Structure 1
Amino acid sequence: MQRKHLARTAAATGAGLLALALTIGLAGTARAATLFSDDFSGGTGSWSKSGGDWSTVTDGSATFQQANTGSELARQFAGDTGWTDYQVQARVKPLAFNGSNRLVAIGARSTSASKRYQLALTNAGRAELQAVDGSSITVIGSVALTVSTGSWYTLRIEASGSTIKGFVNGSQIASGSNSAFGAGRIVLVTAYASARFDDVSVDTVGSTPTTPPTTSPTTPPTTAPTTPPTTGPTSPPQTGLVGWATQNGGTTGGGSAAATTVTTASALTSALGSTSAAVIRVSGTISCSGMLRTRSNKTVIGNSGATIVGCGLTVSGDRNVIIRNLTFRDWDDDAINVETSATNIWVDHNTFSNGYDGAVDIKRGSDFVTVSWNRIFSHDKSMLLGHSDDNASQDVGHLRVSYHHNWFDGSGTRHPRVRFGNPVHVYNNYYYNNEYGVASTMNAGVLVEGNYFEGVDDPTLVGYADSGPGTLVQRNNYFTGSGTPQSAGSVASIPYSYQLDSASSVKSIVTAGAGAGRI
């Protein structure tokens, strides 16, 4: 796959900036606070995966390996979205490249799955310091460098204000000014390549990295390239947090809190109910009943195969909660219930089936919610937004929710059914054999764009059952074997940036990426 260079620039001035001979005098710098370090000897609990096949393997000592060379873009994220000025360093060993212009990289200031600064080693014979914004890649600086599989390289990115620098094995390869990303997490990256990563450290700018470089580059260049390469991997759809949950201060869940693994209903209930920030990893199958109260500042994430049977999670009046990578089935109330002015909630990459009531219901003045990359099948009532027609006093001005890249796989209704919320954003979802798709009622305002409707009797409705009409704008959607969509009026503007995939591609994109086990 080819990389689109939509904004490719060389920001560094002077050939000397790009020379690997510019070494850093580490011995003279003062050590400052270490923000993060990981040699993977204790596993990988602090990392969050997006794509690829990752595991810890031994290479003299523990390392973190991405083994799937067929993965278009594999990433592991760690750290804090609020980190601003820092340097990240890691040892990287490319193992194999699948095709031409492939890469392995480390990244800094990652604001989403597709936005970051990264220092990449490519099998096109280059080391590049890049600003990556979806499919747009700005090259801040680069050098010719023979990248050998099976060899370790020490990569470092320094980000201080708008000054971004890249180093390979302690020698500066690039420095330039770029203000695209002011803060964000660190990330390990491969694109159609396999690699091992080790000795990751994050320190304040100007401090000595935890693990200094120990080797030299394979081929030290002496001049800047005349013509930079123009091809390479293309970024996939956005899989990080986008939408309404990015507003109102953002949604970080448990942040960098130490992870706690739970395997029983009692342990899960206790962890969810704690008033402290927490990252809760669900392992195995947990059977329970009723609704488990989930308090503020929680990340609830499933390990591979994690399943919750018989019960659901409720966020009532709390804020800043992330629920990801879980399979819910046979719940006896709702699977996920967000209510009573709860705010900043992200429900992502879960699978729902065979429940009693809603899979994801949001109501009673709740706000700033993103529901993304979930799959619902063998179930009827999917996603309700606003619980009743007589609740305007609590709901008007709230219930702002984004629904994107969800797979409504034969589920019956409510995808979503909306009351009062405006604007509600429904984009890039795949609808298959549903009674109806989206209903806008009770003066709600819903933007429905870039979705794929297949075999849907009523793709969009204005008014439903006894509920009065709302407004609904539908644009750039794809319809096959479906009825005629309804629309009426206008919708308030969307305040956040987002990447809209072509509607005709949404079926393949969503079926390949939605549901538990896909992050």
Structure 2
Amino acid sequence: MRTHTWHAHARTALVGCTALALGLTGTLTHAHAHAQPHSRDLGRETLPAGDGWGSEGTGTTGGAAAGAAQVHTVTTWAGFKDALKAGGDAPKIVKVRGIIDPAAEGCAAFEAPGYDFDAYLEKYSPENWGLDTDLSGEPADSPEGLRAASAAGQDRAIKVEIPANTTVVGVGKGAGIRGASLQIKGVDNVILRNLTIEAPLDCFPQWDPTDTDTGAWNSEYDAVVVHGSTHVWIDHNTLTDGRYPDSTLPEYFGRTYQQHDGLLDIVRGADHVTVSWNAVEDHSKTMLIGNSDGAGATDAGKLKVTLHHNRFEDVGERAPRVRFGQVDAYNNHYVVTGEQPYGYTFGIGASSQLYASDNAFSLPAGVSAARILKKWSEAPLTAENNYVNGRKTDLIAVHNAEIPAETLRSGAGWKPVLRTKVDRPRAVPGIVGARAGAGKVR
């Protein structure tokens, strides 16, 4: 069986993690229920009162009330999954030590018998297949059928569901999860803290000849997805494409071989979420809040999310793109260096009510502040006291002056009250730079 050389390269890089994974012995151990005197136990900490939408109502406590039998330290993917299942929805704390990686053996570990990427490229090239017919009717033994079977194998291997009343926390400064898709789905009361999370690399993207006029590659797997869940706190993590930023991905059929989907998506009626003090880096389709214009029956009145003191660096778009939700974005620092393609920061989508204030933006020469906002649908927003390269800037006025065909309306129709300290925007780059991301909890 032949495998394309880029796949071989990706497998080689991924296998490089195997030695580290194997060096971390043990799978699941019980830890003491309480921290030692005078030491800090991040697993016992809860979202402070008034700290964003996640503090609404019952607040977010995760597994802080866990008994001794439901505090686990894990060093392997198998141990991580076992710990999450243990005790059902009883409060639990899962402490991740070191790096765990369900894809450490590389893409070849997921390939169905007979899968051949070169055969896939040959059969479905625009020259041979055209651009008018999608691949949905292909039989199981076709290159597309074998790709789908391989993709199903990866799906089973890398996805894991986080149960209700759970805190997942990294131990120290070097803890992380690579190549996995963390699903916070249909549950209440979850905390995710102090982890470096590298986005999963889709080994088997699907070619869709009918996507746009020239076709496109489509990938699966969000690094973290909050799907229909409530009271979620995502704090002091580093979320990144890590070893595989989009700028390193190859092209086939003249289109980027897209192997990433969302980095942190909040969708399907999720509600009361606080995202704070995270470093979000090197990703294109970064964060959806609401995934469909037609999801009003599920999403209207929900998707209340607070984003504060996060550092977004070299993210291409969707930081976030909002539909329906009352989203409060304050004291974030958005950095564009030009190393990755940049489209926009805030996407204004169907029935959204974005309130963006007191943020800082660092843009290079040639990138206008007018691009910070992107209009997808008619919806009002509030954008006030934001600073671009150290200067107070009316983001709506700049956008409307330079892009009059996409005029935005001011006035989100609500004002956030669930905020802790609001820092001066000029001070935000220094504050967030020093304190956002994994290993920087104070």
With the shorter chain as reference, the TM-score category is: 0.5 to 0.7
Distance in structure 1 (CA, Å) of the matches to 2:44 and 2:335: 38
Matched-pair contact (CA < 8 Å) for 2:181–2:199: no
| Alignment-mate amino acid for residue 420 of structure 1 | F
| Alignment-mate amino acid for residue 473 of structure 1 | T
Distance in structure 2 (CA, Å) of the matches to 1:438 and 1:326: 25
Residue in 2 aligned with 1:125? Answer: none
Give runs of aligned pairs for residues 284-363 of structure 1, distance below 5 A.
Answer: 284-288=98-102, 289-304=157-172, 305-332=174-201, 333-339=221-227, 341-354=228-241, 356-363=260-267
C-alpha spacing 1:475/1:425, structure 2 compared with 1 (3 Å): same
Distance in structure 2 (CA, Å) of the matches to 1:413 and 1:462: 9
Residue in 2 aligned with 1:409? Answer: 313
Residue in 1 aligned with 2:80? Answer: 268
Give runs of aligned pairs for residues 504-515 of structure 1, distance below 5 A.
Answer: 504-515=426-437
Instruction: Give the secondary-structure state (helix, strand or coil) at the position aligned to 2:80.
Output: helix
Give runs of aligned pairs for residues 29-428 of structure 1, distance below 5 A.
Answer: 46-47=34-35, 64=38, 112=48, 242-257=51-66, 258=68, 259-274=71-86, 275=88, 276-288=90-102, 289-304=157-172, 305-332=174-201, 333-339=221-227, 341-354=228-241, 356-421=260-325, 423-428=326-331
C-alpha spacing 1:392/1:512, structure 2 compared with 1 (3 Å): same
Q: Give the deviation of 1:273 after TM superposition.
A: 3.1
The runs of at least 4 consecutive aligned structure 1 residues that moved more than 6 Å come to: 42-45, 75-81
Instruction: Give the secondary-structure state (helix, strand or coil) at the position aligned to 1:496.
Output: coil
Q: Is residue 452 from structure 1 mapped to residue 355 from structure 2 by the alignment?
A: no
Distance in structure 2 (CA, Å) of the matches to 1:444 and 1:79: 34
Name structure 2 gaps, 5 residues minimum.
1-29, 103-156, 202-220, 245-259, 337-341, 401-407
Q: Deviations over 1:164-221 (max 9, x none)?
A: xxxxxxxxxxxxxxxxxxxxxxxxxxxxxxxxxxxxxxxxxxxxxxxxxxxxxxxxxx
Distance in structure 2 (CA, Å) of the matches to 1:43 and 1:383: 34
C-alpha spacing 1:388/1:77, structure 2 compared with 1 (3 Å): closer
Compute the RMSD of aligned alpha carbons: 2.6
Matched-pair contact (CA < 8 Å) for 1:291–1:334: no
Distance in structure 2 (CA, Å) of the matches to 1:353 and 1:306: 14
Residue in 2 aligned with 1:150? Answer: none
Q: Give the deviation of 1:378 after TM superposition.
A: 2.0
Taking every aligned residue pair, what percent have the same amino acid on both sides?
A: 36
| Alignment-mate amino acid for residue 475 of structure 1 | E
Name structure 1 gaps, 5 residues minimum.
1-41, 48-55, 57-62, 66-74, 82-110, 113-239
Distance in structure 2 (CA, Å) of the matches to 1:459 and 1:349: 28
TM-score for both structures, normalised by structure 1: 0.53
TM-score for both structures, normalised by structure 2: 0.62
| Alignment-mate amino acid for residue 249 of structure 1 | T
| Alignment-mate amino acid for residue 301 of structure 1 | V
| Alignment-mate amino acid for residue 351 of structure 2 | N
Match of 1:489 among 386, 410, 418: 410
| Alignment-mate amino acid for residue 272 of structure 2 | F
| Alignment-mate amino acid for residue 322 of structure 2 | V
When you count helix as a share of all residues, which structure comes out higher?
2
Matched-pair contact (CA < 8 Å) for 2:42–2:169: no
C-alpha spacing 1:376/1:45, structure 2 compared with 1 (3 Å): farther
Count of aligned pairs: 294
Distance in structure 2 (CA, Å) of the matches to 1:290 and 1:245: 27
Instruction: Give the secondary-structure state (helix, strand or coil) at the position aligned to 2:432.
Output: helix
Distance in structure 2 (CA, Å) of the matches to 1:77 and 1:268: 18
Matched-pair contact (CA < 8 Å) for 2:43–2:167: no
Instruction: Give the secondary-structure state (helix, strand or coil) at the position aligned to 2:315.
Output: coil
Matched-pair contact (CA < 8 Å) for 2:99–2:178: yes
Distance in structure 2 (CA, Å) of the matches to 1:474 and 1:416: 14
Matched-pair contact (CA < 8 Å) for 2:169–2:194: yes
